[in-house]
């Protein structure tokens, strides 16, 4: 009997500005990276600027592109960052500076590695920036399942939005997801799935308004990943949002995605 394969870790590199420019305005990119963004725009992002944060932001984008490339090669891959879905082409919002999901989609398309891309966004907040970027674009399908009464106040229109009531628990959440995901995969038939696995759906999250437990989040990850892999759809995962002062708890909750990736990778012999 063969022993399970050990996970392979990759370190992403700083991406070229040309990749980020596939989605974002050059003036915005340069202003943010150089620390010259105006105070109002900086407040809208919600994070104090530093060169370290600017570097991390860019490297996270490179990580999501690398994750997408690895998913196309191996069937499944996972980033330890990403999910900055509130970033619009010329401004950042909600702790999101550059939209790594959108950039990865555009880079993968530009490199000719995939044509049709499905973005599955299960963060507690709507992927409003992503929805806006890909509006009226038939090559990228945006699916956002989020708490209806939550940031942002002004929702955009995804290709498929599933607003959820405040306080939804594990079972109702998973039943709702099961109503949409399998049919959506069959309908879209993507060359690549980009999966935003935000854990701000957790019952103890400071900025979420749903009620998923650790077990519920793991039960979410397993069918999302296994349904994609079983259908032959490569899936690239990012961690999305998660907001709690208990850092150990937050790290564990984010780790549930990686644990699920490991299990699915082994179960399907990838």
Annotated catalytic sites, by residue? Answer: 86
Spatial contact of 78 and 256, defined as CB atoms under 8 Å apart = no
For residues 99 and 127, what is the distance between their CA atoms, to the nearest angstrom? 10
Q: Which of 160, 211, 23, 41 is nearest to 105 (CA)?
A: 23
Q: Are the C-beta atoms of residues 24 and 75 closer than 8 Å to each other?
A: no
- The token pair that represents 149 in the structure block: 């009464």
Query: Between the CA of residue 15 and those of 103, 192, 229, what are the distances in Å?
Result: 10, 20, 28
Q: What is the DSSP letter of 118?
A: E
Q: What are the Cα distances from residue 22, in Å, to 25, 56, 59, 108, 228?
A: 8, 19, 16, 11, 27
Cis peptide leading into 237, omega within 30 of 0? no
DSSP 35: T
Strand order in the sheet with 160-164: 76-78, 235-238, 192-196, 117-121, 140-147, 160-164
Q: What is the CA radius of gyration of the chain?
A: 17
């Amino acid at each position: 009997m063969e022993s399970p394969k050990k996970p392979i870790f990759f370190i992403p590199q700083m991406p070229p500005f040309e990749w980020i420019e596939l989605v974002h305005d050059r003036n915005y990119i340069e202003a943010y990276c150089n620390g010259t963004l105006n105070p109002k725009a900086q407040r809208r992002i919600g994070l104090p600027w530093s060169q370290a944060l600017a570097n991390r932001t860019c490297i996270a984008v490179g990580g999501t592109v690398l994750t997408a490339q690895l998913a196309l090669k191996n069937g499944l891959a996972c980033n330890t960052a990403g999910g900055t879905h509130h970033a619009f082409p010329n401004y950042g919002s909600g702790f999101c500076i550059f939209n790594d999901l959108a950039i990865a989609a555009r880079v993968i398309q530009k490199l000719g590695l995939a044509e049709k891309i499905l973005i599955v966004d299960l963060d507690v907040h709507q992927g409003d920036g992503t929805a806006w970027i890909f509006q009226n674009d038939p090559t990228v399908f945006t699916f956002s399942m989020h708490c209806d009464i939550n940031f942002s106040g002004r929702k955009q229109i995804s290709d498929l939005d599933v607003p959820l009531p405040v306080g939804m628990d594990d079972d109702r959440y998973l039943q709702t997801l099961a109503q949409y995901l399998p049919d959506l995969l069959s309908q879209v038939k993507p060359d690549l799935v980009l999966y935003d696995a935000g854990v701000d759906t957790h019952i103890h999250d400071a900025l979420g308004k749903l009620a998923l437990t650790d077990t519920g989040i793991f039960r979410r990850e397993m069918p999302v990943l296994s349904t994609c892999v079983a259908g032959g759809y490569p899936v690239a995962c990012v961690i999305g949002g998660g907001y709690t002062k208990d850092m150990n708890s937050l790290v564990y909750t984010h780790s549930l995605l990686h644990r699920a990736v490991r299990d699915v990778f082994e179960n399907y012999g990838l």
